[in-house]
Structure 1
Amino acid sequence: MAVFTVAAVLHVGVVLVVHTQTNGYALFPDAQGYESTSARLAAAWRNEGPFETRNLSGLVGSSVWGYPVIMALGRVMTGGGWLAAKTVLALLAATGAVAAHGLALVSARGRKRALVVGLMVGASPSLLLWDAWGLKDGLIVALVLWALLVQTRARFSIACVSTMLGIYACLYLRPAAALFLALALLTRVRLRREYLAGSLIVVGAAALFILPRLMTLLGLVESLEVHDGIRLGFTGGYGSKNVLNHPQYLVALLLGPFPWAFGPETAVPGRWLYIGTVVWIACLALAPTVLRRAWADTHGVGRAAVLGSAAYAAAYIATFGGSFYRQRSLLECVLIILVVLYLPLSPAAAMMRIHVWLAFIAVVAVVHSPYLTPTIWSKLLAVGVIGLAVVLTLVCGHRWGTVRRFRDRRT
């Protein structure tokens, strides 16, 4: 309850602040579509009653109609407008922090780490921002984390039922997240008699519900135009920035939106994304060590999270790639969870590694940014200062480690 309260206050608070500061105007193009579509659906529901499921695709204008429909339901249930719907969705997204807390406890990582991981997910800058803008990423993260919790904690047959429900919901929200849940479930499969019932549930549900929906979505590939003349396919959609066809966008995928891009053209609300980007970049310094240890945990959430994230990242790289930072929010939250739960380093060693990594990123920033360092001499000076800071950090860290070891021997 404490974790949920903190997460709920943060999510709802940021929603209220952003809504007030923007006079209730949607800042993101997708959010504008969700706001107008949900308003139209809510008005129609109040006047005509609920629609049949097969009509929703035409009413929304998209085969992935889940989020505007949920937003419209929030409007109808509260009797309010877009702010009321965003508040309800923010509260649902805040439950993801509770699921993260439960994952830590199920993975036997201790109550302190469970509390930290719950608070970090609840205070994720990226998720707070997407909720405030009226986008669906916080809701998707909460759905995936709850499905992971059931997969890890419940019996295999119950885990199969919940996973199929989660996959079916994701196919109407974000199909790539369904791939995450499907691959995560594979880590629980065992060649034993008691797992036969769950396997039959998976096969039956996939044949009856999942497969027809997948065929519908695959039939839209290369036929749906996201802009005039630009078809939605496995080529990147907006701007064709997938990493397979355009490897140069790998840097944008890992480090974007670039926190050092503070030119006049970046004076937009999207600049708030830089906070979440810094957290993501810092976690990348610990990712190799953390992923190895998480993969070895077959009883907790470790291996399931790693395998699901790999599948989700592969789908992300092969489609939209470096241009869709929103889709990376799920990977950011999962990586934060894995860092807190499976980091084998001491806090001092972890901070040392993060400092060195951020120094390298800072060198890249000052070399490429014309606003931070406009001249060649300013670039050289900045690189020298950063290098000196790294050396001093390493020397101080080594001396502090030596002093601690000496004190431990004496005691």
Structure 2
Amino acid sequence: MSEKVAPPLPVSGSPSPFRQFIVKVHGRCNLACRYCYLYEGPDDSWRTRPAAAPPAVLDRTASRIAEHARSQGLTALSLVLHGGEPLLAGADTLAGFTDLVRDRVPPHCTVHAVVQTNGTLLTEARLTTLARHDIRVGISLDGGLPAHNARRVDHAGRPSWPAAVRGARLLADRFPSSYAGILTVVDPTLDPVETYDSLLALRPPAVDLLLPHGNWSAPPPHREGARYGDWLCAVFDRWWRAGRRETRVRLFEECVALLLGLPAATEALGLAPFDAVVVETDGSIEQVDSLKSCYAGAAETGLDVFHHAFDEALSHPGTAARQAGPAALAAVCRACPLLHVCGGGHYAHRYRSGHGFANPSVYCVDLQRFIRHVAARLTEDVTTAPASALSSASRDGDTR
């Protein structure tokens, strides 16, 4: 999860600057989730990189972020402390790096920092350090019940749930202002409303629902019919009937905003220019990790923070393709009436071996089912979702 800064429309012909910097402070994880695309997928480049980012990498990365903020005139940016499990690097390391970035960016640039963790290493001491340095905490879970998280185990096969739920409850009880929310990958074999309600019991200010990373060459499981779309529709109805007061759900807010013609920025929907970049533990500048679910090397740029500025990464063909809007989409997507809402779906989900990324999303049927369902609910009760409120929600932030 991160504090997303809604980008303005780019000037025609010019790339949109990076506004989200995902920094791998630690490249290993204390869990061995059985479905992990990063450690179990086709790209094993993590094996040859340092386990933790050395001080020299963090120092240079902070300078490069500040350089980009200055050259692009950024007034705000998102700093995502990531991994692996970033807390393996230590809360003091996360705090020190965040301070470096804030000290070096121009005075007019606000740095929204968030650490994305599996929750198992959260303690009062670590949360106190993170809160003191204004670093918010997002937690990744598969649901709010032990059974939902059965595949999230440590390297000895022991369940992670007891430690993760302790961390989530500590965050909600003692550090609510530091709580960014919960990220959950959709599992259509679980009851949708039960899963959502179980997450609400952990009192997250936001829930981010993601589709599992899959593509046409490595399809996601349980893809028959529109099971993922049906799952999202069921949760949307539950959320909508409650008046959207219980928590924010970014996917739902963004879909509604896009249907109303309002600006929205999310990797899963819409045509907003892509604005995230990754720094690996060895200083390599890469595209987002989701591409690693497609094939080995898919996220590589050949750049690194010691020899290249982030401005140079803006001209990388991969970045350019993700900022090209409809021009980068398959013809069938460009002709679709849902184009400006769907946006072709998540980039990694379009991949097909031998054909690249100019394909519809492997979740095309699910996205159509979900978007049309939301549109129908808006038609039925649009007065409960005033445009001003949704526009504000779209601007206030993102829970990626």
What band does the TM-score fall into relative to the shorter chain?
under 0.3
**Structure with greater proportional strand content:** 2
Question: TM-score of the superposition, structure 1-length normalised?
Answer: 0.27
**Structure with greater proportional helix content:** 1
